[in-house]
Copies of this chain bind each other. A is one copy, B any other.
Amino acid sequence: MFEEKLDLRLPGPVQVPKEIQRAMLRSFDHPMMDYRNPAFQDVLQETTEKSKTIFQTENLVIPLTSSGASALETAIINTVGPNDTIILCVVGYFGEYLQGITDHIGCKTVRVDAEWGKIVDPEDVRKALKENPEARAVFATHCETSTSAINNIKEIAAVVKETDAIFLVDAVSSIVGTPLYMDEWGIDIVATGGQKALMLPPGLALITLSEKAWNTVNDHQCPSFYFDLKLYKKGLESGTGTPYTPNISLVCGLLEACNMIERNGGIEAEYKRHAALRDMTRAGVRALGLELLVDDSAASPTLTAVKLNNADEFRKMMREDFHIALGGGLGKVKNQILRLGHMGYTDAADMLKMFAAMELALLKTGYEVELGAGVSAAQRHWLENPYC
């Protein structure tokens, strides 16, 4: 009956808040569409200015009309050429994207790997930098969306900062939900997308660069016209805007997302809210007797991976019987894990609903579960930490 009803408890794309839907809709038949005029340029200026807070930076934030994956590529092709070396920190499926990008360029890559579900040891990065002193850049995923593990970006940044290399971070599924202090930690490039904890529908990517990174970019011939960051910097700083037609409605949506975050107490409140969502989720999962893929010390505030045999059959039941979509395993953990998304437009009651439905679906698929166990553990956590 309810074909179009579905709770998106996914690791993105996420549900789009009504506020953002209205902000986007407003742009469709509006003077902003004449985008070289102040009606839009003022909005663009305000949006890029307010976006700085979500990166905890004073650097220029550049919106790209494209998906998050393109921001990773943009970070690399503006700084690393075919004859250069780059160190990649890979801890899962999306870390492999970085290898996909460098394979296309044909540059030399040095990998610092960790098992799926684990994170990179910053000392391994130090070793790789020592063994490859010519390395121009180190790239690490912040939240590895395929495993829900959070790399220790602060410590890796401290290691890279001691060298001439620049430090690039994929913050696609971490931004807003996970503490990330670009300037304080000394990250050189942060690349992200809008369709995760920023609560936008897909189609907008963001990238921001430190002065050290801009020095590299300015000395580097970017092979792409569309993703040449020098052209974006020139346009945004001179007030003429992006070099190519921007996704006007998503920029309007981003401004509303920034305003929503501001109204709710700012970015630190978002970190606290997502941490509370993570912790109540982990309490519920444990109470159901299920195993978490990632240790507490590296657990993402935006999604939680849970080991489960025949996970896809379970997901199918959750979807068909209860209209709740859960993420599944990618690549080598396909059908072996659930990924429970709790980023963006999600509150405590959404998670309680999910646990109540999961208890029924577990029972129906043959697990021994005490009804109410997951829900009440999550409830108890919320009573102590009512931040979400």
Q: Which of B228, B243, B248 contacts A201 (CB 8 A)?
A: B248
Q: Which of B4, B25, B70, B250 contacts A31 (CB 8 A)?
A: B4
A65 lies within 8 A of chain B by Cβ: yes
Measured in the bound complex, the distance between the Cα atoms of B380 and A11 in whole Å is 59
A224 touches B225 (CB 8 A): no
Q: Which of B14, B29, B222, B325 contacts A15 (CB 8 A)?
A: B29
A245 touches B325 (CB 8 A): no
> Which parts of A6-50 form the interface with B (CB within 8 Å)?
6, 8, 10, 12-16, 21, 24-31, 33-35, 37, 39
- A231's nearest neighbour on chain B, judged by CB, is B100
Evaluate whether A67 and B248 lie within 8 angstroms (CB atoms) in the complex, with A73-B225, A100-B225, A225-B73 already known: no
A179 lies within 8 A of chain B by Cβ: no
Chain A binding surface, main DSSP class = loop
Per-residue B-contact encoding for A206-227, CB less than 8 Å = 1, 0 else? 0000000000000001111110
Per-residue B-contact encoding for A111-138, CB less than 8 Å = 1, 0 else? 0000000000000000000000000000
Which of the four size classes fits the interface of chain A?
35 or more
Residues of B near A100 (CB, < 8 A) are 225
B16 touches A29 (CB 8 A): yes
> Which parts of A333-353 form the interface with B (CB within 8 Å)?
none
B202 touches A67 (CB 8 A): no
Copies of chain A in the complex: 2
A388 lies within 8 A of chain B by Cβ: no
Task: Select the residue from A6, A37, A97 with max chain B CB neighbours within 10 A.
Answer: A6
Least Cβ distance of A334 to chain B in Å? 12
A25 touches B21 (CB 8 A): yes
Evaluate whether A29 and B21 lie within 8 angstroms (CB atoms) in the complex, with A100-B225, A246-B67 already known: yes
A104 touches B34 (CB 8 A): no
A193 lies within 8 A of chain B by Cβ: yes
Residues of B near A225 (CB, < 8 A) are 69, 73, 97, 100-101, 103-104
Q: Which of B4, B73, B221 contacts A226 (CB 8 A)?
A: B73
Measured in the bound complex, the distance between the Cα atoms of B4 and A42 in whole Å is 14
> Which parts of A68-83 form the interface with B (CB within 8 Å)?
68-70, 73, 77
Least Cβ distance of A46 to chain B in Å? 16
B104 touches A201 (CB 8 A): no
A203 lies within 8 A of chain B by Cβ: yes
A67 touches B6 (CB 8 A): no
A147 lies within 8 A of chain B by Cβ: no
B34 touches A325 (CB 8 A): yes
A244 lies within 8 A of chain B by Cβ: yes
Question: What are 12 A-B contacts defined by CB distance under 8 Å?
Answer: A6-B34, A6-B39, A13-B245, A67-B245, A67-B246, A67-B247, A68-B244, A70-B244, A195-B245, A201-B247, A201-B249, A247-B247
Partner-B contacts on A (CB < 8 A): 3-6, 8, 10, 12-16, 21, 24-31, 33-35, 37, 39, 65-70, 73, 77, 97, 100-101, 103-106, 193, 195, 201-203, 221-226, 228, 243-250, 325
